[in-house]
Amino acid sequence: MTVYLRADSVTLELPLDVQRVDDSGHSTGLKASLGGTSRTYRDVLKNITFSAEEGDRIGILGLNGAGKTTLLRVLNGAFPPTLGKVERSGSTQSLLNATLGFAEYATVTENVILRGTAMGLRRRQLEAALPGILEFAGLVDRAAHRLHTLSSGQRMRLGFAISTAIQPDILLMDEWLATGDAAFIQRAQERMSDRVNGSQIVVLASHNTGLIRKLCNKVIVLESGRAVFVGDAAAGLECYRDMVANASAELRLYLAQNDPLLFGETVGVVERVIRQGSTLLVEGWAVSDRGREAGIVHVEVAGTPFAFEKFERKDRDDVRRYTGRSGNFGFAVEVPVAESADIMPLPAKVIVSVGEAKGQLGAPLRYVATGEFVA
Ligand SMILES: Nc1ncnc2c1ncn2[C@@H]1O[C@H](COP(=O)(O)OP(=O)(O)OP(=O)(O)O)[C@@H](O)[C@H]1O
């Protein structure tokens, strides 16, 4: 049997139920809650086409709310597309939500059977897998206990053990962070790599570009439900990086903190932020991931962005020595701020990013007030 997974012009409309509010636009407690909802439909996925063949590992990237999880749900058949079609050949397992679909008042064993049946397993397969599942979840002596007596960590372990008990041909995964004690996390990671290695096709939605770089040969980049890129992983990662670089400074900061490799090895710090009447002096140093000087300094002050393509470059002997590169890596910019502007506290309301060019801004720089070189 040839294993494949294809999406052809997939569009998904979902109902958006909104609570009615009174004429003033304010929701007013009981009155509003009795007012009912109004339903509109919106395209959560728009015209998505791609195909995965045996050996493909596809990473799905996109900012929050872009439609990554919803696309996985369409691929696993949970949501039938409104337009277009999904074609699949091969057994499929999705790891979307470990604890979804448990029955609170059924026992642990009954839950294994319920979830396993929903996964399409036959009774004999389930009976054979049951001891291993209980053992993996560390719940052998709780097999006859009702689910609602388990802790959230125990449920998570049980859900993980069931969902990964069988090797599928096609594995669909959302950002999957195993929680629990260190020993469980390690066993969970080992099992995940076995399952990923054993699958013919893997589709992984994640914000973790390091993981996608390591695992995937293809990438789909989603933006507001549209696939703005489908193709080779390296080019897809560039596309996502550009998308993040153009996003707001807060979002860049958040994503970069959660994904240290997103912007490559860009290093630098902000060392001085001083208000001088109607200007704000911002100084620091930065080396781009290709070892070059900054081409643009972007400063956001209390939410207002300023971009400087011309700015004072300073020689930083310490940075040159450390990087072994030549260039004036220090920068100083004077940002105009109204005397009345509320920019306190400093430097918390100042976010500085540098890049080689517009649209290639790196992660926001840390503030280190020492004036010393800090890598
Ligand atoms: N059942 C639903 N009904 C209506 N709208 C939905 C439903 N599920 C998701 N959405 C909307 O669809 C959009 C895409 O959501 P989705 O969870 O797929 O995004 P995502 O890219 O996985 O986001 P994140 O990175 O935050 O997990 C969001 O705007 C979300 O509000």
Quickly list H helices, 95-198.
108-118, 123-137, 152-163, 182-198
Cα gap 288→363, rounded to integer Å: 10
What letter would DSSP give residue 147?
Answer: G
Give, using CA atoms, the residue closest to atom 14 of ligand 1: 67
Atom of ligand 1 nearest to the CA of 72: 18
Handedness of CA 18, 23, 27, 29 (dihedral sign): negative
Per the CB < 8 A criterion, the answer to whether 259 and 248 are in contact is no
Percent of the chain beyond pLDDT 90?
Answer: 40
Of all protein residues, whose CA lies closest to atom 8 belonging to ligand 1?
A: 70
Angle at 192 between CA 186 and CA 193, to 5 degrees: 95
Distance 66 CA to ligand 1 centre (A): 7
Pocket of ligand 1 (CB under 6 A): 14, 16, 44, 62, 64-70
Nearest-atom number in ligand 1 for the CA of 207 is 25
Contact 207, 66 (CB under 8 A): no
Please report the DSSP string for 276-341 in residue order.
Answer: ETTEEEEEEEEE-TTS---SEEEEEETTEEEEESS-EEE--HHHHHHH---S--EEEEEEE--TT-
Q: How far is the CA of 258 from the centre of ligand 1 (A)?
A: 20
> Is 57's pLDDT higher than 90?
yes
CA of 226 to the centre of ligand 1 (A): 13
Question: What pLDDT is attached to residue 373?
Answer: 44
Residue 230 contacts residue 199 (beta carbons within 8 Å): no
Lowest mean pLDDT among 36-45, 233-242, 304-313: 36-45
Q: Any residues with CB less than 8 A from the CB of 302 and at least 6 apart, and which?
A: 341, 342, 343, 349
pLDDT in tens, 134-158: 999 999 999 999 999 998 888 988 9
Residue nearest to atom 24 of ligand 1 (CA): 64
* CA 346 – ligand 1 centroid, Å: 36
Q: Which amino acid is at 368?
A: V
pLDDT tens digit sequence for 163-213: 899 899 999 988 765 566 677 778 888 888 899 999 999 999 988 887 888
Q: Tokens 């971009």 — which residue?
A: 307
CA of 65 to the centre of ligand 1 (A): 5
For residue 175, which atom of ligand 1 is closest to its CA? 27
Least confident range from 43-47, 92-96, 342-346: namely 342-346
Q: Is 49 in contact with 7 (CB distance < 8 Å)?
A: yes
Domain boundaries, the chain: 4-215, 267-367
Closest CA to 342 of 300, 282, 302: 302
Counting ligand 1 atoms within 8 A of each CB, the residue from 14, 45, 63, 221 with the most, and so the one to mutate, is 14
Q: Atom 6, ligand 1: which residue's CA is nearest?
A: 14
Is the ipTM value over 0.90, yes or no?
yes
Confirm whether pTM is higher than 0.95: no
Q: What is the DSSP string of 242-280?
A: HHHHTS-HHHHHHHHHH-TTTTTT-EEEEEEEEEETTEE
Separation between Cα atoms, residue 308 and residue 101, nearest integer Å: 53
As its CATH architecture, domain 267-367 has: Sandwich (2.60)
Fold designation for 4-215? Rossmann fold (3.40.50)
Centre of ligand 1 to C-alpha 69, Å, is 7
Higher pLDDT pick, 262 / 250 = 250
Q: What is the DSSP letter of 6?
A: E
CB 272, CB 282: distance < 8 Å = yes
Rg (CA), the chain: 26
